[in-house]
Amino acid sequence: MKTNLSDLWKKEDWLAVWIGFAVIAIGCIAVLTGAFDFAAAKFSTWHLWENVAEKKSLLAQLDGAFWVKLLRTFLVLGVLFTLGVKLQGGKIKEYIPAFLVLFVLSVLVRLISAEFTLNRYLEWAFWALIVGLLISNTVGVPKWLRPAIRTEFYIKTGLVIMGFSVLFSNIAKFGLYGLGIAWIVTPVVILFMWWFGTKVLKIGNKPLVITLAAATSVCGTSAAIATGAAAGAKKNDLGIAISISIIFTILMMVFEPMIIKATGMSQLMGGALIGGTVDSTGAVVLAGNALGAEAEQAAVLVKSIQNILIGFIAFFVALFFATRVEKSEGKKVGAGEIWTRFPKFIIGFFVASLVASFLIQPLAGSDSVKAINGVLDQYKNWCFVLAFTSIGLDTNFREIAKQMQGGKVLWLYIVGQVFNIALTFFAVWLLLSGVLFDIPVLDLYK
Amino acid sequence: MAPERRRRIYRAVTILTVVAVLGCAVYIMARRMGLAPGYDFGAGAYYYADIPGFESVVRDDAYQTEVPLWVHIVLFLGWGWLMYRLWVWIDSRKS
């Protein structure tokens, strides 16, 4: 394989980078100048039959402003992805109607996942898979819809946009305590799961093993998406890893604080343990909150550091797979070959993160970065919903059963998560119990 | 134990585990356990930017450290590189 200059505007990876940068640039201009509104559509939490006083009913939120945002979202993503497909040599006459239908399905997914109870426990990624699977396994996916099923393209673009929200300054938020809990433990758990999955359980699907390991040890869905893309995981791999992580997160969110309370662990230690082990950030906040204000703060601080890890883990995974997993037996992979194989969207992810951390944040302030991320986050979510709906449309139930490898994947997660909890507890005890170091004091005044 | 019997036990334990986990998850959802009043999100908010009003949940200056940022970054990168080398070593070992 040779690298050409034209790759910059013809290859999917680079096009995902440019599209991601375009969305980030427009988002920055819109927020920093206040000249125009660039917000993407989002359903507020709704309910059908319950009286949840503070929530809007479904119909009440479908006002003029919502439709304007929805149209804007469709046009921004539609135009950019169509251009990207055209540059890759695709037929836009086939892509545009297919994208329109995929977008409508994605709207349905986001609508379902905004329902009060469903929204509280299951992510839209789960509903996107379900909707796609239901269609593909019942009526089937029509041939004309296939041109829009470009899972990797949407995922890579979403990841580049997500890069802007990864702020390096978070690394020092909990000092060396946080770094010790979040960063010392995480790679050890990944290596343990890699060893256990590939050497003990002998799972041949290495991208699935590393995707599940990242989901378990880092932060669930977002880490799985980034790592899966970096390792070249199959679509089903990502769906399986995320589904397992989502279901177990529900259990851990409820049972982990109960167990911590029963053991009499301090709030600081309990919160840090939750931050290091519960996957989704929303679940971390709630589980920490169940223990108390100090636990909640400690949990969020540790999780904030884990969120920074996503890009680095994805980078090392991409490097590992480019140099070791994809190489021919006995052949050494040269620097040129590594560059050719390396997924370039990771570079886009890092550039976006560096720009946000060392350019926009110092110049415009933290509040501006938060406001920009408020806008960009919805575009990222739309990209991921398009991707996960595509995964569902491209998957059948038999394939999923085969991918589970007789339950080995489930046991890999369970054993890995138990190891993660044990090791994180050890780190938390060592750093925060006062046996070796001073117990840190958190300022809880809001 | 005969391999066939071991396989059957493994299969039964796996199925029981799946049923128990799914049953627990459905029970938790049906009883709306683990939610907090005043927070308009749940486990479904997988990333911090998805949490409405996240800035009111976490304080940026809740902990003050005297260790400079660059020390954190050096330790972060150093440990990452060390772990990468360990990964390569583990992978090169025969199972």
Q: Which residues of A201-214 are buried (b: 16+ CB within 10 A; e: fewer)?
A: bebebbbbbbbbbb
Q: Is B65 on the interface with A (CB under 8 A)?
A: yes
Tell me how long chain B is: 95
Instruction: Note the pTM of the prediction, 2 decimals.
Output: 0.91
Angle at A154 between CA A335 and CA A282, to 5 degrees: 105
Q: Which residues pair with A47 in a beta bridge?
A: A57
Residue B70 zone, left/alpha/beta (φ > 0; ψ -120 to 50; rest): alpha
Q: Please answer yes or no on whether A120 and B32 come within 8 Å at the CB atom.
A: yes
Identify the closest residue of chain B to A174 by CA–CA distance: B63
| Residue B2 C-alpha, separation from nearest chain A C-alpha, in angstroms | 18
At A75-90, the pLDDT tens digits run 999 999 999 999 999 9
pLDDT band of residue B37 (cuts 50, 70, 90) is confident
On whether the CB atoms of residues A427 and A258 are closer than 8 A, the answer is no
Q: How confident is the model over B11-22, as pLDDT tens digits?
A: 999 999 999 999
The pLDDT, as a whole number, for residue A48 is 67
Distances (CA, A) of A128 to A133, A134, A139, A244: 8, 10, 17, 15
CA-CA distance, A249 to A216, in Å (whole number)?
10
Computed over every residue of chain A, the mean pLDDT equals 90
Q: Provide the pLDDT for residue A405.
A: 79
| A218 to A189, A206, A245, A276, B81: CA distances (angstroms) | 9, 18, 11, 8, 17
Residues belonging to chain A:
446
Helices A206-214 and A408-432 cross at an angle (nearest 10°) of: 40
Q: What is the mean pLDDT of residues A402-418?
A: 91
Instruction: Please state, in angstroms and rounded to a whole number, the distance separating the CA atoms of residues A85 and A206.
Output: 29
Question: At CA A440, angle to CA A434 and CA A445, rounded to 5?
Answer: 140
Q: Which of A436, A415, A418 is nearest to A427 (CA)?
A: A436
> What's the token pair of residue A415?
């054993």
Please check the confidence at residue A50 and state whether its pLDDT lies above 80: no
Number of H helices, E strands in chain A: 22, 2
Q: What is the ipTM of this complex?
A: 0.93
Work out the average pLDDT over A10-29. Answer: 96
* pLDDT above 80: residue A209: yes
Q: Does B42 contact chain A (CB < 8 Å)?
A: yes
CB spacing of B43 vs A121 below 8 angstroms: yes
Q: Which residues of A touch B69 (CB under 8 A)?
A: 168-169, 171-172
The answer to whether B43 contacts A246, with C-beta atoms less than 8 Å apart, is yes
Task: Locate the chain A residue with the closest alpha carbon to B49.
Answer: A377
Contacts of A199 in chain B (CB under 8 A): 90, 93, 95
Question: Cβ(A162)–Cβ(A24) under 8 Å?
Answer: no
Residues A154-184 pLDDT 10s: 999 999 999 999 988 888 889 999 999 999 9
CA distance B30 to B14: 24
Distance CA A283, CA B90 (A): 33
How far apart are the CA of B89 and the nearest CA of chain A, in angstroms?
10
For residue B75, list chain A residues with Cβ-Cβ distance below 8 A. 176, 179, 183
Q: Are A390 and A199 in contact (CB under 8 A)?
A: no
How far is residue A132's CA from residue A340's CA, in Å, rounded to a whole number? 33
